[in-house]
Structure 1
Amino acid sequence: MSISARVIDSTNGCPVADLAVTLHARDHGDWPVVARTRTDSAGTIGSLSPGPLAPGAYRLVFDTGDYFAERAVDSLYAEVIVSLHHQGDPSDLHIQLLVSPFSYTTYRGHVPATARAAGRV
């Protein structure tokens, strides 16, 4: 199982490029960093993990505060944290995040086969 993501700014419908994202894994109450990356120009991140992820709890931390601050937009959330529980299902997780200055929503998305084949996610 791997984790990929896509981030869209819902105020303008555009992808969020160059957004810092960190993947953490739960380890006896601590959350050490597994990987750090940034979204590409399409707002996507391919596999966040260096290899297949073991079952367990994970967190994706999206640095939305800096994204809005760089655009001189007041915002409420410094980070968006998406907590996941991987039970061992071999299917990949594709996390969709829609952000605006004062709200966000997230859901498990679907990666089209064409995008996977092209290496975009």
Structure 2
Amino acid sequence: MSTSHVTTHVLDTGSGKPAAEVPVTLHVLDGESWVRIAGGATDADGRIKQLGPDRLPSGTYRLAFDTGKYYATTGTETFFPEVTLTFGVLESEAHYHVPLLLSPFAYSTYRGS
């Protein structure tokens, strides 16, 4: 099984555990509009290994994390009901891993491997 061109994982830094069942959607910028191309939810390890195709054309993409739904299931108040990460993809790059480090009132990200 091949890995998607874009993968992600979410770590709940407040609890020190992977964030399971976080809904995530992948969009591409088409002109001035965002078009959804894939979606899924994180597994028990906080990961989505299959999110969209194994190759994407060069362009601007975004991942939208439904953090409000995740925190609602844990009974935790959050300031960010959604986290959206926008990034560029080059066809020549084999893989993009875009992690999210999450707490109820802050988040961070980086280009993973």
Instruction: Provide TM-score, normalisation by structure 1.
Output: 0.86
The number of residues matched between the two structures is: 110
Using the TM superposition, give the Cα deviation of residue 46 of structure 1 relative to its aligned residue in structure 2, in angstroms. Answer: 0.7
RMSD: 1.2
After superposition, residues 96-111 of structure 1 pair within 5 angstroms as 96-110=99-113
Alpha-carbon separation, structure 1, partners of 2:74 and 2:93:
39
Larger % of strand: which? 2
Same amino acid, percent of matched pairs:
38
The residue number in structure 2 matching 1:56 is 59
The residue number in structure 2 matching 1:25 is 28
Instruction: Provide TM-score, normalisation by structure 2.
Output: 0.92
- Residues 70-120 of structure 1, C-alpha deviations (whole Å, 9 max, x = no match): 21111100100000111323220111111000000001112xxxxxxxxxx
Structure 2 unaligned segments of length 5 or more: list them.
none
Using the TM superposition, give the Cα deviation of residue 50 of structure 1 relative to its aligned residue in structure 2, in angstroms. Answer: 2.5
Alpha-carbon separation, structure 2, partners of 1:18 and 1:75:
16
Using the TM superposition, give the Cα deviation of residue 16 of structure 1 relative to its aligned residue in structure 2, in angstroms. Answer: 0.6
